[in-house]
Amino acid sequence: MDTQELCSMREAYVLDGLTDEERRHFEEHLKTCKECQQEVTALQEVADWMLYDFDEVEIPDGMESRVLASVFGDELFEEGSVAIRSGGAKTGSAMDSRPAVDSGSAMDSGHIVRIPQASRPSRRTSVLRWLTPIAASVLILAGGSAYLYRQSLGLSPLRESVGTVQAQLPMTAVTKGSAAVLTVADRLSQQSLLIRFSGLPETKGSQIYQVWAIRPGQAPKSLGVFYPGRHGQALFASVLPKGYPTVAVTLEPHAIDKQPEGKKMFVANLT
Amino acid sequence: MTRTDEELMRDIAEGSRAALTELYRRYERPVYGFALRMVRDSQAAEEIVQDVFTRIWKARDSFNPSSASLRTWMLTIAKRIAIDYIRSRQRRGTLALDSEEKTYDVPDRAALPDEMASHADTSRQIRQALDSLPSDQRIPIERMYYEGLTQQEIAEILSVPIGTVKSRIRLGMEKLRRQLTSVEMEETL
């Protein structure tokens, strides 16, 4: 590329209209071309100005709660990479992942819901979508489809389709008085796993419930963790990875254990 | 007392979730509005907002918006994420490349709260400036900037030589620059 051609790329450079290769060439040229440096600085002001060509619209109900839960929750749910400590200066519970906006009363009855990505196509493979009190999240099965109704911050309930129900079965409980019903739903190319719990024993100290997908001959795969609500209820949702015939729930002594160490509470065979 | 953006960013760098929450509340509306303007899909726009704040949170130790205002910096991040989204959507063939004009939901101005008024003025000035351009200059500028098309792609879509695209964009940007300068002069008088 000759100098004249490179100088002709100024506008496209500030408007992000160059290919990666063109951009690299232009940025090399920019290091030494005083005229382009001046022009790009001036043109960049125009480009920055154009960032403000939008209308400030009303934001969707509950967006703050969902976004902040994801921002803070991703840290805790990057699988196996973060240990939630207990006791001491950093109070160790997954409730720490609750966005600041949700602090307060929600802490009393809160639990964690991992919303499956099967609900819509997404660039993410695993995202904690939002955290809500148990009373505010309801799984509805209707007409062969599964829907999650959620209510956050006193706003109108939102319905999220989880997909078509493929299977529903009770999980075998190890502890008397507790129960869990597992639902598998299909949407797009993914399977969603939803488990509704009741009568769960309270967690103590750093204990936390953890859900695992199990495949013979391989290490269990963590699907996430949760706390039960005030009355031992919880609703857990996650993407169900392919090729795992068994789902188990354990009561772990510490959160986000890479391998199950705690007592097995429920198990279900999906085949 | 209201903390400045710089104070908030300093607290965020130290890991304060409360500071990020405050920053979010300060900027969710413009970031969402801009994202929606780019992708015209409310769910995708929400994901872009989520990505913007996730990046800020994850890169809080190295935050350096240089000379740009925080708002401009955040919108620039949102734009890059939105362009990635648009390009992936184009690859999937769900965005018509040959559509000359686009529409997206415009809110009822009467329903907007007062604090949006100043932004609405700015937005109107920019829109007027863009609309004042001849369409053969405005369209390639908008498609490049808001849709992430390269000059080569625009040349193919418009069936004109790439040199024509460059000259139209150059003329249009020069006019926008003069208009921006005149707006700045009016504001300082």
**DSSP class per residue in A73-127:** HHHHHSTTT-PPP-SSSS--SGGGGS-GGG-STHHHHB--B---GGGS--S-SS-
Same domain, yes or no, for B130 and B80?
A: no
What pLDDT is attached to residue A122? 36
Residue B77 lies in a domain: yes
- Residues ≥6 apart with Cβ < 8 Å to B23: B5, B8, B9, B12, B53, B56
- Chain B residues with beta carbon closer than 8 angstroms to that of A45: 177, 180
CB within 8 Å: B36 and A70: no
d(CA A96, CA A35): 53
CB within 8 Å: B151 and A17: yes
Q: Please name each of the domains of chain A with its CATH number.
A: 3-50 (1.10.10.1320), 63-269 (no CATH)
Q: Tell whether the model's pLDDT for residue B102 goes beyond 60.
A: no
CB within 8 Å: B180 and A45: yes
Q: Tell whether the model's pLDDT for residue B82 goes beyond 90.
A: yes
C-beta atoms surrounding A207 within 10 Å: 19
> Across residues A71-80, what is the average pLDDT?
51
B146-159 pLDDT, tens digit each: 999 999 999 999 99
Q: Which of residues 34-73 of B touch A (CB under 8 A)?
A: 34, 36-37, 42-43, 46-47, 49-50, 53-54, 57, 68, 72
Same domain, yes or no, for B88 and B143?
A: no
Q: For residue B84, which of B120, B47, B137 has the smallest C-alpha distance? A: B47
Boundary-marking domain end, from B31, B60, B92:
B92
Same domain, yes or no, for B1 and B71?
A: yes
Q: Tell whether the model's pLDDT for residue A107 goes beyond 60.
A: no
Q: How many domains does chain B have?
A: 2
Same domain, yes or no, for B144 and B75?
A: no
Residue B189 lies in a domain: yes
Residue pair B56/B74 in contact by the 8 Å Cβ criterion: yes
CB nearest A51 (choices: B34, B43, B46) = B34
Residue B99 lies in a domain: no
Q: Tell whether the model's pLDDT for residue B50 goes beyond 70.
A: yes
Same domain, yes or no, for B84 and B121?
A: no
Please indicate whether residue B28 or residue A257 has the higher confidence score (pLDDT).
Answer: B28
Residue B110 lies in a domain: no
Query: Average pLDDT over chain A, rounded to whole?
Result: 69
Residue B178 contacts A, CB cutoff 8 Å? no
Which pLDDT band, with edges at 50, 70 and 90, does A105 fall under?
very low
Boundary-marking domain end, from B92, B125, B152:
B92
Encoded tokens for B20:
């990020």
Residue pair A12/A18 in contact by the 8 Å Cβ criterion: yes
Residue of B12, B25, B40, B54 for testing the chain A interface, max A β-carbons within 10 Å: B54
Q: What residue type is assigned to position B17 of the chain?
A: R
Please indicate whether residue A28 or residue A253 has the higher confidence score (pLDDT).
Answer: A28
Residue pair A230/A198 in contact by the 8 Å Cβ criterion: no
Q: Tell whether the model's pLDDT for residue B172 goes beyond 50.
A: yes
- Residues ≥6 apart with Cβ < 8 Å to A91: none
Residue A71 contacts B, CB cutoff 8 Å? yes
Residue A1 contacts B, CB cutoff 8 Å? no
Which pLDDT band, with edges at 50, 70 and 90, does B97 fall under?
very low
Q: Tell whether the model's pLDDT for residue B20 goes beyond 80.
A: yes
Same domain, yes or no, for B31 and B82?
A: yes
d(CA A195, CA B89): 33
d(CA B97, CA B91): 10
Burial of A261 by CB count in 10 Å (0-12 exposed, 13-18 middle, 19+ buried)? Answer: exposed
Boundary-marking domain end, from B60, B92, B124:
B92
Q: What residue type is assigned to position A10 of the chain?
A: R
Residue B28 contacts A, CB cutoff 8 Å? yes
Domain range for residue B27?
1-92
User: Which residue carries 């921002």 as its tokens?
Assistant: A71
Residue % of chain A over a pLDDT of 70? 63
Same domain, yes or no, for B122 and B177?
A: yes
CB nearest A59 (choices: B28, B119, B176) = B28
> Across residues A27-41, what is the average pLDDT?
93
Which pLDDT band, with edges at 50, 70 and 90, does B36 fall under?
very high
CA–CA distance from B41 to each of A31, A66, B111, B123 (Å)? 39, 17, 21, 20
- Residues ≥6 apart with Cβ < 8 Å to B121: none
Residue B165 is inside which H or E element, if any? helix B162-188
Side-chain half-sphere exposure of B76, counting CA atoms within 13 A: 17
What pLDDT is attached to residue B169? 96
d(CA A205, CA A188): 40
Same domain, yes or no, for B145 and B63?
A: no
Side-chain half-sphere exposure of B22, counting CA atoms within 13 A: 16
Q: Tell whether the model's pLDDT for residue A187 goes beyond 60.
A: yes
CA–CA distance from B35 to each of A65, A266, B73 (Å)? 18, 43, 14
Residue A78 contacts B, CB cutoff 8 Å? no
Which pLDDT band, with edges at 50, 70 and 90, does A175 fall under?
confident
Burial of B136 by CB count in 10 Å (0-12 exposed, 13-18 middle, 19+ buried)? Answer: middle
Residue B100 lies in a domain: no
Q: For residue A148, which of A135, A156, A137 has the smallest C-alpha distance? A: A137
Q: What CATH number has the domain bearing residue B188?
A: 1.10.10.10
User: Which residue carries 């602090």 as its tokens?
Assistant: A103
Residue B35 lies in a domain: yes
- Chain B residues with beta carbon closer than 8 angstroms to that of A123: 47, 85, 88
Sign of CA dihedral A246, A247, A252, A255: positive
Side-chain half-sphere exposure of A49, counting CA atoms within 13 A: 24
Contacts by residues B89-96 (CB-CB < 8 Å, ≥ 24 positions apart): B89/B39, B95/B147
Residue B28 lies in a domain: yes
Which pLDDT band, with edges at 50, 70 and 90, does A209 fall under?
confident
- Chain B residues with beta carbon closer than 8 angstroms to that of A57: 29, 32-33, 36, 105, 107
> Across residues A145-152, what is the average pLDDT?
51
Same domain, yes or no, for B145 and B178?
A: yes
What pLDDT is attached to residue A147? 57
What pLDDT is attached to residue A144? 59
Same domain, yes or no, for B13 and B74?
A: yes
Residue pair B8/B60 in contact by the 8 Å Cβ criterion: no
Same domain, yes or no, for B78 and B8?
A: yes
Q: Tell whether the model's pLDDT for residue A40 goes beyond 90.
A: yes
How would DSSP label each residue in B87-156? HHHHHTT-S-TT----------GGGS-GGGHHHHHHHHHHHHHHHTS-HHHHHHHHHHHHH---HHHHHH
Q: What CATH number has the domain bearing residue B26?
A: 1.10.1740.10
Same domain, yes or no, for B63 and B149?
A: no
ipTM for this model: 0.80
Residue B108 lies in a domain: no
Residue pair B169/B140 in contact by the 8 Å Cβ criterion: yes
What pLDDT is attached to residue A185? 81
